[in-house]
Chain A
């Protein structure tokens, strides 16, 4: 926690000094609350948040007062730093409980948030000590006069602004709700307690004779690094969790696309085979001179069926499937879809990826209500190029799947009115 009151125990001192000491503890608790608040701000709150916030503030004031009262009356022989260590450990638990009480989140996330807030407060407190030792030779700052208050505020800004800009924003991007690794969070809380213990040891050493200023500065430096390491550990834990989640989601989507592709391929093959047979039977009947038939009608039926009898063959089975499927849909909607496609250019892609990409691209384009769509797939200058031109109105949607697949293969997507291009570098 980093609180250090020079005159401890405080029993027997004047009321003004007691007030100053009380305010000092209050401001340091406020720092802790700020660190936690910045991180927890994005979490959903529980019902009646104002009432809950009031309860938490009341508990904070009561806790601070209790700690202060204990400090004032402390003279039972127990080492003071043991008292502080126990108090601060309880505060970490209390902090996690407060976050859990205020926010609709798990205990793990609450502990994660509290540990981070606690760490940054400890880093700020350590920096206070560092500044104090450098400037005044004293071991602690009590922000009671204007000069010391300014130092306190400057240290707060100097530590919390980078904390917000780097750590808090990065954690929000990674998503707090992904904190799922129970053992790691517990380990981090323990690391945090070790860091607090280390801080207390430094404080103890600062006042001792025989400990040089250089040693104290070096120890403070190590303490700062330990705090930074704890925050880095927290972020790494979350980031790795996010990567693991993303990979799992992507794999699940790919498996779904693979199933969808396989099912489409089988359906198209079955329909085509059946219609192929029907068409040949119609043509066979037409060739028979001995049967009385409406030949014009049968010829028309054969022509209509031939659309379904001609599977697009590009040299890539997955591409054939998605294009044949889409062409049939376009046929039904009165859209002309032409494809000049070198399927072999996309042989390096997984069938699921390929299906997902073309499904997304054609979905987006057909959604704009065009009457004509042209698709060209070819390989040139080291890339597979997919070009779609259409006369649909408006802009295509976000094309998330297309961007995701293109980025996985190191490619690029370009969208212009009436045109869409994707390039994917060919493996060398």
Chain B
């Protein structure tokens, strides 16, 4: 069940969005708990928590763009989609890291297309975990906390946030099969990188959130960069 928040002062438009969400849920075998707020001010004051926010821009009092700016001061991650008739303002949605926008009246085809991308980002944030059998017993680590995995003589080293390194015997290729669908990418023969933990992409390397710089292997560079571009764009 995903929590969706609609911030919209026009009840007709809000109802239309709810209808689209119901249809999308049926078509994609998922479910949403939807809450509607009728003003941006209410949204700012109550600090509602949600997995996905649909925000109208043209609202009385604080407008949607201003509310989004306030949202980003305390929440930088929740995916945000503008729903507006002011397309010229929504173009600047990148300032508040908006995923996209939809023009009113919202047609289902437009909604569904943008919803697909929003759901991929929502899924990314789902807290999956990884069980690692180490010499000290089984360790369960959140996938988001794994920075990268490297291999040295059949030993896999999991570098996790906080500087801890966990070790177990295994094959990087087998681990790659398991972790690639979870947002990891093989950048070289000896490194598997969590794309969510990449802080900079350079022509020949990636920089991780712990400052470690990992170079692309020559034979894997092209594929790794393609995967990174799809991840950064939200295609995977």
Contacts and interface: CB of A to CB of B under 8 A. Distances in A.
A354 interface: no
B148 interface: no
A421 B233 CA distance: 6
B202 interface: yes
Interface in B195-219: 198-203, 207
Interface in B98-157: 98-103, 107, 109-110, 112-114, 116-117
Contact of B99 (A339, A376, A412): A376
Given A336-B107, A382-B201, A413-B226, A421 B232 contact: yes
A390 to B, nearest CB: 7
Contacts of A43: none
Nearest to B227: A414
Interface string B67-108: 000000000000000000001101111110111111100010
Interface residues of A, number: 39
Interface string A327-357: 0000000001011111000000000000000
B103 A376 contact: no
B235 interface: yes
Contacts of B236: 416
- For the residues of B in contact with A, the DSSP-based class is helix
A383 B232 contact: yes
B16 to A, nearest CB: 15
Nearest to A421: B233
Contact of B91 (A312, A383, A387): A312
A425 B200 CA distance: 9
B226 A412 contact: yes
Contact of A414 (B94, B100, B101, B226): B226
B109 A372 contact: yes
Given A312-B91, A340-B98, A381 B232 contact: yes
Interface residues of B, number: 42
B109 A377 contact: no
B88 A313 contact: yes
Q: Which has the most chain A C-beta neighbours within 10 Å: B90, B95, B100, B102?
A: B100
B53 interface: no
A231 interface: no
Contacts of A312: 88, 91
Interface of B: 87-88, 90-95, 97-103, 107, 109-110, 112-114, 116-117, 198-203, 207, 222, 225-230, 232-236
28 contacts: A313-B88, A314-B91, A336-B103, A336-B110, A338-B102, A338-B110, A340-B99, A341-B94, A374-B113, A376-B94, A376-B233, A381-B201, A381-B232, A382-B201, A383-B201, A383-B232, A385-B232, A389-B114, A391-B112, A391-B113, A411-B229, A412-B225, A414-B226, A414-B227, A414-B235, A422-B229, A423-B201, A425-B202
